[in-house]
A = this chain, B = another copy of it.
Amino acid sequence: MHPTRDQRLWMYRQMVTSRYLEERIETLYMEGKTPVFNMAKGPIPGEMHLSNGQEPCAAGVCAHLGPEDIVTATHRPHHIAVAKGVDLDAMVAEIFGKATGLAGGRGGHMHLFDERVNFSCSGIIGEGLGPAVGAALSRKMQGKSGVAVAFMGEGAANQGAFHEALNLAAVWQLPVVFVIEDNAWGISVAKQASTAVPRNDSRAAAYGMPGMHVADNDVDGVFAAAGEAIARARDGQGPSLIEIETARLAGHFMGDGEDYRPEGEKAGLEARDPIPRYRRALLEAGLLDAAADAGLVDEAHERVEAAIRFAQDSDFLPAEAALDAVFV
């Protein structure tokens, strides 16, 4: 399955937007955290997991999804939220903890819920898989369209929830796609030190479902694999599993010293940064020229800047609002 010109540009735009968003978050996150790094300080406190380098996973999958489709993401959610069309203003405001944020600041960056586009994420490894299966079940029972996609890291594929969710989805032949972003690391633990098989797509066989693999962080490759899997799901042919070789260009979270990386790894990953690569590919394919690229990039940046301004200009909820929204 090959992406059209528009699809390729759409994917490129998502990647550029997400990357710029995270570059800006990175800067803003560090405000108030120097010279002494203290997570509690600054306009964006708490843990911060950046997805720099993993944008192809999000863009290539979400290119096939509409607002009615369900996505569950992880503790590293920004690239997916962007590509799924989460309201950028409300999302950034949530990351800042503001009243105008998706949850009024109750959730923060690991808990982004946008029910308008059926997006959610969470902070426990493997936690989104069951809900994705359940949303797919809901669609099937209600006879409504829509597929569910559960994103996870390669480390999550060793969590019990992975096994249970894939089996359940397969037994019930539900319209759900499981997407593993293999960035080779779970915090400081390398995939080969934690996973008994080299590739998790081989685990699909344990559930009688198709397993697909995308090498080299290739967004068009993701598009192709996800396209097939999602088409199968929409067609009532049940779940699939995809593993994507991707790259975590940053640390696990901000503040991570990354001493566990083998020498040279980071430089190698940066040299293969998927965004410049895709830009070159689009330029070479004549789908983009320098001017169009600059325009697209500017537009993406402006969207991000607008969202950041929106967030910064927003107020916090009154502190007592902490007591609200426990129950509806």
Contact = CB atoms under 8 A, between A and B. Distances in A.
A205 interface: yes
A171 B195 contact: yes
Interface string A174-196: 00000000000000000001111
A205 B206 CA distance: 8
Nearest to A126: B160
A202 B161 CA distance: 19
Nearest to A170: B196
Band of interface residues on A: 20 to 34
A204 B197 CA distance: 11
Contact of A159 (B159, B160, B202, B206): B160
Interface of A: 158-164, 166-168, 170-171, 193-197, 202-203, 205-209
15 contacts: A158-B163, A158-B168, A159-B160, A159-B164, A160-B161, A160-B162, A163-B163, A167-B195, A170-B196, A171-B194, A171-B195, A171-B196, A196-B208, A202-B205, A202-B206
4 closest A-B pairs by beta carbon, nearest first, are A160-B160, A163-B163, A170-B196, A203-B206
